[in-house]
Every structure is written in structure tokens, then in C-alpha cells.
A = this chain, B = another copy of it.
Amino acid sequence: MSSNVKRLNEYWTDIYFHMHYPHKEKISHQVIRILQLVEKKEEVGVNEVATYLQISHNTASEHVKRMVEKNLLFKERDLLDERRVLLHLTQPGKEVLHRNTSLDEEKLEQVMNQLADKERAVVEQAFKLLSEQAKTCL
């Protein structure tokens, strides 16, 4: 059973290796992780960043500051609690995140077009299923 899981992971990493975008930007891993967090979660502030990356709040604050300077994020004050900051992706932030975590759309489209209709449907269904179930993880 767990060999199933290992096999799935091998497929997973193969897919990413062969279909990711070319590595252009010199970007740090922490920055990518912060972009992912901000994209996928509602109401992310500096503290959530610190907890998620297991770093101190001041370091998290500096990451955010640099990322704002680079126009990857922008800040909004929480109207209900003005101590809090709410982070959002800018358009360049979305693009950087996309190029560093998604599959290359051209390649993906090409690969999908090589599949038969039934196979394409299987892929779609599988990804949908798995992403829905994934959200139930703690």
C-alpha cells in the first residue's frame, strides 16, 4: 500500500521535472513559500508567515518588507483589528509564483493534446478528486 504512495510520488516529481517552467529568476525558497501561503490562504498576516515557516516574527516581518519593496506583495490593514496586516499578491507576485510552482501551460497543453479523450478526462477527474480531498488534510 505504501509502495503505491511512493509510486505516486515518483510520477508526481517526474511530471514536475519535465513540465516546469525554465528556471529564470534567482528567487529564494522562503519567498516562494510565502507566496504560496498568501495565495492559498485567506487572511494571512506576518504572524501566519512566521508560524508557517517556523521562523521568528521579526524575520517574517523583514521577508514581507523586502517582498513589498520588490512588488511581490502588498499590505492592507485589517479594518477590524488595525494591528493586523493582510497580505496579498501583486500581479508580478502571481506571475513569479506561477512560474515557480505551476506546470508550464504550453507543455501541459501539448501533453494533454497527445492523450485520447478518455485519458484526458481521467487526468482531469483525478486532479480534481485529489485536490478536493487534499483540502481535508490537517
Copies of this chain in its oligomeric complex: 2
Q: How far is the CA of A125 from the CA of B16 in the complex (A)?
A: 17
Known interface pairs A9-B102, A23-B52; A130-B2 also in contact (CB < 8 Å): no
Interface size on A, residues (CB 8 A): 64
Q: Which residue of B lies closest to A17 (CB)?
A: B40
For the complex, is A105 an interface residue (Cβ under 8 Å from B)? yes
Q: Which residue of B lies closest to A108 (CB)?
A: B5
- Interface SS of chain A: helix
- Selecting from A63-71, A73-81, A82-90, A109-117, the interface stretch reads A109-117
Q: Which residue of B lies closest to A102 (CB)?
A: B9
For the complex formed, measure the closest distance between the CB of A35 and the CB atoms of chain B, giving whole angstroms: 11
Q: Which residue of B lies closest to A31 (CB)?
A: B29
Q: Footprint of B on A, CB under 8 Å?
A: 1-2, 4-19, 22-24, 26-30, 32-33, 36, 39-40, 52-54, 98, 100-103, 105, 107-112, 114-115, 119, 122-131, 133-137
Q: A13-B40, A29-B29 known; 11 other A-B pairs, CB under 8 Å?
A: A11-B130, A13-B102, A14-B40, A16-B101, A18-B131, A22-B54, A23-B54, A29-B32, A111-B136, A119-B129, A122-B126
